[in-house]
């Protein structure tokens, strides 16, 4: 099933209090949105908590470690949030970090010998997509590799989530086409998709941060100043 984002009901737009730098990933729970971002000029990565309704920043920490300063797509898991922090180049290296979702303090991490640009979590298993998600990885929470498989969809996913039994990713098909796709987590067959189009600032809606909370789709495609878009899913 393919639908157009423009046909969905826009529930609201929230301006986030900057600076938000170059947005990478988001997740949402209730009135809180977690945002990862990178500032290439200073080699710094950030994880922040915002009020999703008012846009107020509630907390922020730096997450970089030497050459690894590029945080990516993230997902909440109970009282924690998982995110990758990688070198800013393809086929490099990354930490997969587990942080407290309230304090943002580092709880645990494991290394990966690749640039990991996004992660998702389901039943204690961490999924990761490398640069443009050409391959998907799966690890146990202690960093043990389960497997690595090619992404057959042709979509360069930037943010991943597990939601209602599907692996949901947003990204790009080509320089002009953006999409959000619901994949079967074993076969990677696309079960449904949304063609996203562009904001009034001419930025693809599927460029960066994406989250699904119940029946609401959240998108944070733009860099500073960043706007959080909320759409009602059918």
**Burial bucket for residue 156 (CB in 10 Å: 0-12, 13-18, 19+):** buried
Segment (H or E) for 32: strand 32-39
Instruction: Give the pLDDT confidence score for residue 175 in this predicted structure.
Output: 75
Tens-place pLDDT, residues 151-194? 999 999 999 999 999 999 999 987 777 999 999 999 999 999 99
- Answer whether 0.85 is exceeded by the pTM: yes
- C-alpha span between 192 and 15 (Å, rounded): 29
Give residue 103's domain range. Answer: 2-232
Q: What is the CATH number of the domain that holds 77?
A: 2.130.10.10
**Shortest CA distance to 41 belongs to which of 56, 58, 19, 9?**
19
N residues, the chain: 234
Q: What pLDDT is recorded for position 66? A: 96
CB 182 within 8 A of CB 160: no
The number of domains in the chain is 1
pLDDT at residue 95 is higher than 80:
yes
Give per-residue pLDDT as tens, 97-133: 999 999 999 999 999 999 999 999 999 999 999 999 9
């Amino acid at each position: 099933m393919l639908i157009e984002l423009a046909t969905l009901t826009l529930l609201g737009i929230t301006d986030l209090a900057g600076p938000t730098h170059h947005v990478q990933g988001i997740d949402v729970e209730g009135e809180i949105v977690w945002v990862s971002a990178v500032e290439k000029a200073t080699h710094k990565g950030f994880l922040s908590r915002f009020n999703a309704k008012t846009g107020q920043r509630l907390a922020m920490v730096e997450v970089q470690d030497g050459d690894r300063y590029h945080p990516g797509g993230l997902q909440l898991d109970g009282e924690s949030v998982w995110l990758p922090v990688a070198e800013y180049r393809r086929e490099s290296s990354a930490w997969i970090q587990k942080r407290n979702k309230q304090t943002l303090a580092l709880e645990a991490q494991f290394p990966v010998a690749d640039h990991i640009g996004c992660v998702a979590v389901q039943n204690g298993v961490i999924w990761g997509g490398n640069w443009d998600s050409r391959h998907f990885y799966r690890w146990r929470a202690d960093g043990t590799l389960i497997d690595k498989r090619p992404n057959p969809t042709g979509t360069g996913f930037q943010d991943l989530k597990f939601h209602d039994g599907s692996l949901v990713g947003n990204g790009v098909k080509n320089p002009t086409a953006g999409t959000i796709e619901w994949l079967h987590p074993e076969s990677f067959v696309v079960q449904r998709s949304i063609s996203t189009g562009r904001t009034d600032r001419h930025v693809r809606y599927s460029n960066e941060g994406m989250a699904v909370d119940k029946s609401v789709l959240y998108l944070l495609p733009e860099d500073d100043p960043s706007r959080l878009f909320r759409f009602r899913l059918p």
